[in-house]
A and B are shown apart, each in its own frame.
Chain A
Amino acid sequence: MTNTASLAKHRFDPDASISAKARAALLDTATVTWRDMVRTSRRPEMLAFAVIMGVFFLVLFNYVFGGAIGAGTGVDYIAFVVPGVLVITALQGAQQTGTGLAADLSEGVTDRFRSLPMNQGAVIAGRTVADAARNLAGLVLLALVGIAMGFRFSSFGGAVASIALTLAVGFAFSWLSAAIAAKVRNPEMVGMLSMFWLFPLMLASSAFAPPESMPGWLQGFATHQPISVAANAVRDLSLGLDAGRDVLYALAWVIGMLAVFIPLSSRLYRRAA
């Protein structure tokens, strides 16, 4: 007994400080991020799919509906729709956080994670960071397609700020998506449930059309829901308009969602034994 206890002593420090624990949690998050990025690199079709969906939306809305919708937007429709599609693409990337996490939870590797001396929250945190990295690649590619279709960022700084804000919104929704996955766990079910938040947020928004054109009962939601707010803010940033108020509003959504869904998803993940 004393023998094994002394053998084991160097492996576990019961007096580890808070900062040592935080450092360990960051290390774990970095490790899981690396793992999820390796997985993404083995499945490039996931990234390709996200970009193709974005291009599909750009083409559909710009060339098919653009003529009809564009009249009400007050700007060239391509300038209106590219920021919207960027935000939608980040939202769809966030949806994949949930399906990926649910797949993890239904596989044996989760049992291994649970038996390791790691911060269990890192399993979700690492995935959201890796998905943000994948989103970044998708957004850059999509922005290039938008430019090819005639879209112009007002400045390089505006482009960077637009993509950074879009990423932040996607990151916040990744945590919402993760919370659903940690609760439901079944990948098919998570995929189906995501339709219930994805489509209303995507379509009843200012991403493709100005909410002013919508019926009164929908306008309140369509004006203030996070995707609309984000689309407006990204539009301001990319077009070099006065962005302050919209950006703050969007950041408030991001911070509020993170404050709710980070603790919630971690708690649900721990509970789902």
Chain B
Amino acid sequence: MSRLYVLDITPNILDIMSNQGHETDSAIRPTDPPAVIEAVGLHKSFGDKMAVRDLSFTVGAGRVVGLLGPNGAGKTTTIKMLTTLLPIDGGVARVAGFDVSSNPTAVRTVIGLAGQAAAVDEMLTARENLKLFGRLYKMRKTDLQARISDLVERFRLADFADRPVSTLSGGERRRVDVVAALVADPLALFLDEPTTGLDPRSRNEMWEAIESLAASGTAILLTTQYLEEADRLADEIVMIDEGAVVAEGTPRQLKQQLKRDVLEIHFESDHDLVEALTIVGDIPRMTSTSETREIHIPIDEGAGPALDTLRLLGDSGLTIADFQFRRPTLDDVFLSLTNPNA
């Protein structure tokens, strides 16, 4: 445990940080940080269901990679494989140079994990949890005490650090969970949906915490269902669906690919929806949902054509319950990426 447990931003890392902002799009940077998490062609099946297929990505020191996808896309399975919790069926994974399959014990010394279910002891206090996990990492007593005080202060746990975790709010509990992953100052941090279920304020605090961790040199792999979260935190996004990569790149690259506003039209009756679909005919990448009786029309070249469509439908005597223009959501991204007509 010779690595210092203080925020240690070396000039070198600052250089890397300034080069990896969202403005830089080139895939190869002049000073690529050393790879900490490497996944090459990962595969995982449960029975005959392929949960993860041919998944490859790299997370460098001080970088945040967002693994983005809907429920069941394979995000958690990927995290579990990389953190030694699930055997890898195919491909190679390395963390800090250690092979995950052949040397799980070594990998466990350099990783921190905050899974979806709060992985702390509910009957212990936050401080006791940190002590428990620090001792299991075989940290020296004095190092551990200093580390716990540092973490409690840095992540503002002091107000509730001495209450049993079961009495804390959802946001506080999540924070304790993430901080528990940091006890031994991991080189690689795995966060599985760290903000799911948090209120906006707790979410913001979590985001700031993650940013400060990346700034101190930790490689972070983050899964999320929220495009906004990936946009704010991730240097690179790997978007997966049904276990396979559907898109990857910097947030800016992805947004350019997806920069389409959508016109949503909502009808009173199923009959009107069917009528409307015949009236508007074939619009590229248009989608419809019969459950909510909506059609979604992408707006590529200005609002004109969409407005024409709206006018056409209004004049045809169908009852439009309401309509709105909206920014693309993750759903739109997936629909556009998985729709063969796109």
Q: List chain A positions with a Cβ less than 8 A from chain B.
A: 1-5, 7-8, 10-12, 14, 24, 27-28, 31, 34-35, 38-39, 42-43, 107-118, 273
Contact = CB atoms under 8 A, between A and B. Distances in A.
Interface string B117-133: 11111111000100011
B96 A112 contact: no
11 contacts: A1-B35, A5-B97, A8-B110, A12-B110, A34-B135, A39-B124, A108-B115, A111-B119, A114-B85, A115-B113, A118-B108
A108 B187 contact: no
Contacts of A14: 103, 106
A108 B124 contact: no
Interface in B187-209: 187
A11 B36 CA distance: 15
Contacts of A3: 34, 61
Interface in B110-166: 110-111, 113, 115-124, 128, 132-133, 135-138, 164
Contacts of A39: 121, 123-124
Contacts of A112: 113, 115, 119-120, 133, 180
Interface bracket on B: 35 or more
A4 B96 contact: yes
A111 B97 contact: no
Contact of A115 (B97, B111, B121, B123): B111
Given A10-B3, A12-B110, 4 more contacts: A8-B187, A14-B106, A35-B124, A112-B120
Contact of B164 (A28, A42, A109, A117): A42
B77 interface: no
A107 B61 CA distance: 31
A138 B3 CA distance: 45
B133 A116 contact: yes
B137 A116 contact: yes
B105 interface: yes
B117 to A, nearest CB: 4
A10 B2 CA distance: 7
A107 B117 contact: yes
Given A5-B96, A7-B96, A12-B110, A109 B121 contact: yes
If over half of B's interface residues share one DSSP class (helix, strand or loop), that class is named, otherwise mixed; here it is loop
A115 B118 contact: no
Contact of B122 (A11, A31, A107): A107
A94 to B, nearest CB: 21
A114 B35 contact: no
A99 to B, nearest CB: 14
B136 A8 contact: no
Contacts of B83: 115
A110 B103 CA distance: 20
Given A10-B3, A112-B180, A273-B86, A4 B97 contact: yes
A115 B84 contact: yes
Contacts of B180: 112
B120 A108 contact: yes
Interface in B1-51: 1-3, 34-36
A4 B61 contact: yes
Contacts of B110: 8, 11-12
A124 to B, nearest CB: 14
> Most chain-B Cβ atoms within 10 A of its Cβ — which of A2, A34, A38, A115?
A115
Nearest to B61: A4
B109 A1 contact: no
Given A4-B35, A4-B61, A10 B1 contact: yes
Nearest to B38: A1
B121 A7 contact: no
